[in-house]
Amino acid sequence: MTSPEIKFSSDKTTLTYFLSGSWTTQELASVITQVSSPKSSNETGADNVVRVFDLKAVEIMDTAGALYFLQYKEGIEGTGGKTSLKSVPKHVRQILDTVQKHRIKECPPENSLVGLKKLLTDTGESFFKTITQVQELVAFLGLVLVAFARQMTNPKRIRWTPLVAQMEQIGIHALPIVGLISFLIGVVLAFQGAGQLERFGAQIFTINLVAVGVLREMGILLTAIIVAGRSGSAFTAQLGTMKVNEEIDAMRTIGLDPIDVLVLPRILGLMLVLPLLTFYADIMGILGGAAMTMLTLDLSFYQYVRYLQDAASLGDFWVGIIKAPIFAFIIALIGCHEGLQVSRSAESVGRQTTRSVVEAIFFVIVLDALLSILFSVMGI
């Protein structure tokens, strides 16, 4: 293949561009260098001169060469020049027509009104998409409640083996991470609280801070967030993979209800286990606070326990425990719902798993804030 080349020939009314060689991706560098150099005196002229492109000697042209030629030609037209084609071989004409038809031209810059319209359009689409997702979640909630009522009226329908297996996966296997995080949070609360209360000579109230903070809020909130990231995502990934492998469709074909077989054991298992995990997290958080308090306040463990009895009440403990089954239901419901929304691709499994964790944590935090306000108004 020969390198592409452009030669010029001019008279009073016409400037002719003679194109030759191979206008391909590999050879374009030479012609780009040629047209980027100072223009030939033959190429300059009056504005009324017609530029004629003679393509008779072009051996081969691919899409890159055609695109570059069209852009070069349109650049001349953009300055007010007139152009025309001459002696175009059939194969070159075909590639030029194809590229001209399918190429994407540069879009005009957006003005403020277009940008505002796009912003409003995106906002509206996001709003209606959110409404649709809420409707789907409410519909799924209805299916779960109906299936739950059906099992409660006929306990023989409860699948005990999957229920116990889920309780083991959710509860026992989560003990190390829940215990470690709760213990460290107790340490942090005690350390930060002692540092601030020392200014007022009230370091002893660090025990109150740890006890009330862990029992009412931090114990259940951290446990729910950990479970949402660990078990909620697992629910979505498991059900999503089954959806991709068409196992759920096969289950429906043989007359099994996926809500009874897959969803309810996970929801009931998490509702039974999360209060126990919360109790465990409370104990570990108080122990972490005890370790740091004994170091900073020079108290014995026995003295810490005695102060703890006055610092926290049984009501503080029950406030945290009451939230646990509510959070568990929300986490499991969202995890299972997003798993069943997976389409038949691995990418969808990852996308829905991420959405499951984000939605579950969001709803847990919002619900925790609402319950805290409600308990405060009620004087609990």
Specify the 3-state DSSP secondary structure of 104.
Answer: coil
* Side chain identity, residue 351: R
Q: What is the mean pLDDT of residues 100-126?
A: 73
* Sheet strand arrangement including 50-61: 5-10, 14-23, 50-61, 82-86
Instruction: Name the residue among 271, 272, 250 with its Cα closest to residue 261.
Output: 250
The conformation of residue 230, written as its DSSP 8-state character, comes to: I
- Condensed to tens digits (0 to 9), the pLDDT of residues 96-111 reads 888 888 776 655 555 5
Q: Name the E strands within the chain.
A: 5-10, 14-23, 50-61, 82-86
Q: Measured between alpha carbons, how far is 272 from 329 in angstroms, rounded to an integer?
A: 10
HEC letters along 180-221: HHHHHHHHHHHHHHHHHHHHHCCHHHHHHHHHHHHHHHHHHH
At residue 193, the pLDDT reads: 86
Q: Which of 106-110, 151-155, 346-350 has the lowest mean pLDDT?
A: 106-110
pLDDT greater than 60 at residue 39: no
At residue 112, the pLDDT reads: 56
Q: At 380, is the pLDDT very low, low, confident or very high (cuts 50, 70, 90)?
A: confident
At residue 182, the pLDDT reads: 93
Q: Measured between alpha carbons, how far is 208 from 187 in angstroms, rounded to an integer?
A: 14
Query: What does the buried/exposed string (b/e) look like for 105-139 if buried means 16 or more CB atoms within 10 Å of the residue's CB?
Result: eeeeeeeeeeeeeeeeeeeeeeeeeeeeeeeebee
At residue 282, the pLDDT reads: 93
- Condensed to tens digits (0 to 9), the pLDDT of residues 268-313 reads 999 999 999 999 999 999 999 999 888 888 788 888 888 888 888 8
Instruction: Name the residue among 338, 336, 329 with its Cα closest to residue 363.
Output: 329
Mean pLDDT of the chain: 85
- Condensed to tens digits (0 to 9), the pLDDT of residues 309-326 reads 888 888 888 998 999 999
Q: How many Cα atoms sit within 13 Å of 190 on the Cβ side?
A: 26
Answering whether pTM is above 0.85, one says: no
The conformation of residue 155, written as its DSSP 8-state character, comes to: G
pLDDT greater than 50 at residue 40: no
